Amino acid sequence: MTVDIVFSISGHSIPRDHGFMLWRELRMCLPWLDAEAHAGIHTIRGVPATDDMLLLTHRANLVLRLPETRLTDALGLSGRQFDLDGHMLKIGSARQRPLQAFATLYSNLVCTGNDDELDFLDDIAAQLALINVECKFMCGKQRALRADQAVIHGYSLMLHGLGAEQSVLLQQTGVGNHRKLGCGILVPHKSIAAVAA
C-alpha cells in the first residue's frame, strides 16, 4: 500500500525550481529513498514572489509518496532543517494521507525523455498499456526543470475517465521519470481544465 505522508514546514521562501535541491537533502536523511522505485517527492507549493522564488504560507507542506512500510522511517525527518540554496526549511510534524480514487488525475510536469509532443503522447500511451490502464489523456504546456547542470523537459498531463482501481494504481506508480524530483506524481483533480493552465 502506498500513501502520502504530509509534513508541516516552516520557512520564508524557497527557490521555485527546488526539486533537485530537495531530493538531495532528503536522500541524506533517508538513504533508502532512491531504492524505492515508486517513491515520489511532491513539489512544494507556495506563492510566486519572483520568477525564481516562492513564498511559503502556513498551508505549505512537504509531501512524500511512500510505501506504508517506510512511514516509520520517514518520521525521522521531523525536526530536521534543510538548506535549499541558502533558504532554510524546517520540517515539522507529520500525518498520513491515504490515496483517494478520482476519475481525473493531474501532474504539473511529466518527463518521458521525449521533448516532441507526439512522441511524448506515444510514451504515455505505451506506459498505460503496460499496466493495462485504459483512459483518455491530454498534455498541456511544455515545462522544464533544472536538475544540477541539466535541464529536464516535459509536459503537464491530465488523465480522465479512470476507474477507481486504475486511479489508485496510477497514483501508486506515477507516470514517466524523475518522481524523486517531483515529476509524474499524479494527484486527484475535479476537472480537466488544469491541463491548459
CATH T-level fold of 104-196 = Alpha-Beta Plaits (3.30.70)
Tell me the one-letter amino acid at 5: I
pLDDT at 147 (0 to 100): 84
The reported pTM is 0.91
Q: Which three cell numbers stand for residue 68?
A: 506504508
Asked if CATH classification 3.30.70.1890 holds for the domain at 2-98, the reply, yes or no, is: yes
Which residues lie below 8 Å from residue 116, measured CB to CB, with a gap of 6+? none
18-47 tens-digit pLDDT:
999 999 999 999 999 999 988 999 999 999
Query: Tens-digit pLDDT profile for the chain (197 aa)?
Result: 999 999 999 999 999 999 999 999 999 999 999 999 889 999 999 999 877 899 999 999 999 999 999 999 999 999 999 999 999 999 999 999 999 999 999 999 999 999 999 999 999 999 999 999 999 999 999 999 988 888 999 999 999 999 999 999 999 999 999 999 999 999 998 765 545 44
From the list 58, 5, 14, the residue with the least C-alpha distance to 33 is: 5
Domain limits, the chain = 2-98, 104-196
173 and 4 in contact (C-beta within 8 Å)?
no
Please tell me the distance from the alpha carbon of residue 80 to that of residue 91, in angstroms, as a whole number. 5
According to DSSP H, which parts of 8-81 are helical? 19-29, 71-74
Please tell me the distance from the alpha carbon of residue 7 to that of residue 12, in angstroms, as a whole number. 16
From the list 60, 51, 58, the residue with the least C-alpha distance to 16 is: 51
Q: Which position has the grid cell 510514451?
A: 123
Q: Which three cell numbers stand for residue 60?
A: 505549505
pLDDT at 106 (0 to 100): 97
Please tell me the distance from the alpha carbon of residue 94 to that of residue 114, in angstroms, as a whole number. 36
**Same fold: 2-98 with 104-196:** yes
